[in-house]
């Protein structure tokens, strides 16, 4: 296994995992392929390890989770966000993804993040500090596919300005669910606009998306206005 700092998921409340403890065990199997239990286990295990590592991603990514129940007890914003799992290959991604709940199954108030490894999903992280976020709101029906397409575009490095991306978050909310992509240099308008336009294409989304600088959100909270907006065509 090539993953550095890979952690077993620790979230055990009813929020995020289904049977994540089995994550990755069969992540490398092709459709229809079965494990032959009669094989010599050491040979099988070496073959298995080699196969798991076969499609490394350009970046390692970490899933983070914040449950509404934990948030309700937190002393300061962000103290209840938990680092769940880091993955570095496409097989590991599917191993995790297939064993966790889709956003639409999460409790209202939950936040689920996927950020580049070692970037914390907080304004305070030095790599995020001068950044901002594109946000789109969805009706529940499209939430799960939009989240998956966002993840695949990010980890598959489909954005021309992928280096600008810190990660993405899905906020499950009563009024309107949201998905945001966080970026590093909010003042780089060309890069932000490129990311926003490509994201809309990947999602096949013709809704308005808006970009808010973290600096503005810090100062103005919910009164912060979008600096960049992409309207329906």
Residues of the shown chain interacting with ligand MGP in the complex, contacts defined by CB under 6 A: 77-78, 122-124, 171, 173, 217, 221
Least distance to ligand MGP from the beta carbon of 31, Å? 38
The span from the first CA to the last CA of the chain, in angstroms, equals 46
If the CB atoms of residues 60 and 171 are measured against ligand MGP, the closer one turns out to be 171
Least distance to ligand MGP from the beta carbon of 187, Å? 18
3-state class of 21 per DSSP?
helix
Whole-number Å distance between alpha carbons of 163 and 160: 8
Least distance to ligand MGP from the beta carbon of 167, Å? 12
If the CB atoms of residues 25 and 124 are measured against ligand MGP, the closer one turns out to be 124
Q: In 3D, which of 169, 108, 106 has the Cα closest to residue 136?
A: 169
Q: In 3D, which of 43, 175, 66 has the Cα closest to residue 113?
A: 66
Distances in Å between the Cα of 66 and the Cα atoms of 34, 47, 152 are 36, 36, 21
If the CB atoms of residues 34 and 75 are measured against ligand MGP, the closer one turns out to be 75
Least distance to ligand MGP from the beta carbon of 171, Å? 5
If the CB atoms of residues 83 and 171 are measured against ligand MGP, the closer one turns out to be 171
């Amino acid at each position: 296994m090539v993953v550095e700092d890979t952690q077993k998921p620790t979230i055990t409340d009813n929020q995020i995992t289904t049977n994540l403890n089995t994550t990755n065990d069969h992540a490398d199997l092709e459709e229809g392929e079965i494990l032959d239990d009669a094989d010599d286990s050491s040979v099988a295990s070496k073959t298995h390890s080699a196969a798991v590592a076969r499609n490394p991603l350009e970046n390692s990514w970490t899933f983070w989770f914040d449950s509404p129940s934990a948030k309700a007890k937190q002393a300061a914003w962000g103290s209840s966000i938990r680092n769940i799992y880091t993955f570095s290959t496409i097989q590991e991604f599917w191993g995790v993804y297939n064993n966790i709940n889709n956003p639409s199954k999460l409790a209202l108030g939950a936040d689920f993040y996927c950020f580049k490894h070692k970037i914390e999903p907080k304004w305070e992280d030095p790599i995020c500090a001068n950044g901002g976020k594109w946000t789109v709101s969805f009706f529940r029906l499209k939430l799960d596919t939009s989240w998956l397409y966002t993840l695949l575009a990010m980890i598959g490095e489909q954005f021309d300005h992928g280096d600008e991306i810190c990660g993405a978050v899905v906020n499950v909310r009563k009024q309107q669910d949201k998905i945001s992509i966080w970026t590093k240099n909010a003042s780089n308008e060309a890069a932000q606009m490129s990311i926003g336009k490509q994201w809309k294409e990947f999602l096949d989304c013709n809704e308005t998306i808006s970009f808010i600088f973290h600096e503005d959100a810090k100062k103005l909270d919910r009164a912060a206005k979008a600096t960049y907006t992409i309207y329906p065509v």
